[in-house]
Amino acid sequence: MISKTSKVLYVDDFVVFRNLVAKALSELGYEKVEGAVDGEEALQKLINAQKSGQPFDLILSDWNMPKVSGLELLQAVRSSEALKNITFVMITAEKENQHIVEAVNAGVDDYIMKPVNKNQLADKILALNQRQTK
């Protein structure tokens, strides 16, 4: 269940998008939001947070990033016993069905097309919570 007290990690190599999503989440009342510039940094933050006993509850990740892509990050998260239950939403400009299928097969919880806005995030989180409570 994602709540206003949930810890959120947003991963995107473009600072403008990271700032937009952070602002939208802040406006929605989420206070524990951190950013990462790519999947490599995100994975390190996820591992460190888990080890410190303050794990992330939600990952919002871009697909196309240097070093470690969003898909590779998703695969790493799902293959890690410690991280596999974190809710993962891909936020991307990738519109090809093949990409959506790849993400679903890798275990993504949901998919949002860029550009994303506050209302889309709120709707997506609500839908995720409704699915998780069933």
Per the prediction, the chain carries an average pLDDT of 94
pLDDT at 106: 96
pLDDT single digits (tens) 99-119: 889 999 999 999 998 888 999
On the question of pLDDT at 62 being above 70, the answer is yes
pLDDT at 134: 67
- Which residue blocks in the chain are alpha helix, DSSP H? 15-27, 39-51, 70-79, 97-106, 118-132
Global model pTM greater than 0.85: yes
With beta carbons less than 8 A apart as the criterion, state whether 78 and 108 touch.
no
CATH class label, 7-132: alpha beta
What order do you get walking across the sheet with 87-92 strand by strand? 32-36, 7-11, 58-61, 87-92, 110-113
**In whole angstroms, what is the distance from residue 60 CA to residue 9 CA?**
6
Q: Where are the domains of the chain?
A: 7-132
Q: Which residues, including other chains, have CB under 8 Å from residue 111's CB and lie 6 or more apart?
A: 89, 90, 92, 100, 103, 104
With beta carbons less than 8 A apart as the criterion, state whether 116 and 91 touch.
yes
pLDDT at 92: 85
